[in-house]
Structure formats: structure tokens, C-alpha cells
Amino acid sequence: MAKFRNVQQVFRGLPASDGAGVQLTRIIGTPYINMLDPFLLLDAFGSDQPQDYIAGFPPHPHRGFETVTYMLAGKMRHQDSVGNEGIIEAGGVQWMTAGKGIIHSEMPEQQDDLLAGFQLWVNLPKSHKMTEPAYQEKTRNDISVETRQGLSLTVIAGQTQNGTKGVIDNPFVDPIYWDVQQQPDRLFTENIPAGHNSFIYVYQGEIQLVGSQETILKGHLVVLTDGDTIEINALSAAKYLLIAGKPLNEPIARGGPFVMNTREEINQAFVDYQMGKLA
């Protein structure tokens, strides 16, 4: 018998600035929701004012986790210290494993018009925090889109109950990363592995989980209860991310761009960076 996920908590993101002054909304990684294991951070950026984004994210280091950049509009150029380079365009995704250390930049490839997207940080287990850096970049055409009556489902990671598979490989937390576009009064029903932590972030319209009276508005994140099934009704034309992953249940130590298991490992990351030992 299906166990339906429902609303556990609802949060609204906070205005923030990162990189060289990029204006964004921090959704996970705030005083209200610091993390949702294995997810460490979620930012949404979107503006048609160049001064809000043009300075981008100049070279900066990471160690111990993965960054996921998903573009809705505009273009962003990625370059890193192990030789990867590419332009992420609308509908594309970049999933970068920082591992033992990488220095990368993400810079807008446009001078005006709308730039919009998301960045998610996904933790790595202790056993793989010092793995070699890796990089997966996929265009809109690489990513499968499943269509059903009244909705479309962009499957970046994970697998739907109809068998549509994501393009991203991550064996550590078995993630789901879906971009759902749903018409009013249409139901979306899917399976999510029991035990996975999961959330929804609405970036257009309004939705309601079946069995709940709470309306989830644009700009709100809802943390879901455990279960193996989710059923969502769109109250208006809605777009939202549905993300889930297996928790690692390990100690976490943070230090700016580094996420390790102990404070000593964080201190060592800063020393290694200062000595030029990151890749």
C-alpha cells in the first residue's frame, strides 16, 4: 500500500549575494534551513538586469562535495583547474564533483536579457571526499523529457515510474532531480524511494499536495515527509523542482567553499588551497 509524502515544513528563501556580487535567493543554506542531508545549499538566480549578474562567479575553490548548475535562461561559461570548459545554455545542466579539490569559475556569456537558473550543492560521503574531480555537462537535447497529459517532466537525475532515466550518474545518494511543468487541475503522481530526503521548490504558479490543505506558493520550498509516493495538484500553471536523495548520515564540517567531516579537514583544505595544492 502506497505511503504518500506530505508537507513537513515550508520555507521561503532569503535575498543574498555571492560570487562577485551576483544577486540571488538562498533557499537551502539559511538560518531557517541549513541543509537537508545530502543537500547542502540551493540558490535560485534570475534577473534581466545585467548589473545583478554580469560579474559572475570568478575562480574559487571547492572540496568535498558536488555542485549542480541548471540553467533556465541565458548562458554561463564554466572553466576549471583540471581543464574542463563549456557553456551551459538554457535547459542544460552541469554536475561537477569537486572531490579532493578544484578551482572553477562560472561567468555569464551574455551582456543583457534574462539569466536564470539554480545551483544545488550535494554532499559526498567520507569515503569519496578526496576522490579525483569530475565533470558532467549535458545540453537540453541530452536530457529526456517525459510528457503526460497536462504536464512535462525533465528528468535530470533519477528514474520515473514510466522508466525515463536521468542523464546524471551519482551512485552515492541516488538522486532525483526533476523539473516539472504542470497545467492547472492536473495530478502528478510519482514514486520516490522511501528513506530519501526530498523537497519541492516552486518557481512558477501554485501547487498543493494531495491530502494537504496548504497551498505552496511561488518562491516557497516545501520539505516533504517520508513515504514512497507523491501526488501533486497544480492550482495554476506551475513549474517546480522535485529533488530527493539518500541521506549520508555523516558528520559535517563547513568552511566557506569546503565541506568535510571534521574541522581539522577544513583547516587542511584552506592550507592546501593557500599552498596551491588544489587541482
Radius of gyration (C-alpha) of the chain in whole angstroms: 18
Q: Among the listed ranges 26-35, 88-97, 105-114, 124-133, which one has the minimum average pLDDT value?
A: 105-114
DSSP 14-35: EEEEETTTEEEEEEESSSS---
Q: What is the pLDDT of residue 194?
A: 98
Say if 111 falls within a structural domain. Answer: yes
Task: Find the CATH number of the domain harbouring 218.
Answer: 2.60.120.10
pTM of the predicted structure, to 2 decimals: 0.96
Q: How far apart are CA 234 and CA 229, in angstroms?
A: 17
Mean pLDDT of 34-45: 98
Say if 2 falls within a structural domain. Answer: no
In tens, the pLDDT along 208-255 reads 999 899 999 999 999 999 999 999 999 999 999 999 999 999 999 999
Say if 279 falls within a structural domain. Answer: no
Domain enclosing residue 196, as ranges: 7-274
Q: How many domains does the chain have?
A: 1
Say if 242 falls within a structural domain. Answer: yes
Say if 1 falls within a structural domain. Answer: no
Q: How far apart are CA 240 and CA 242, in angstroms?
A: 6
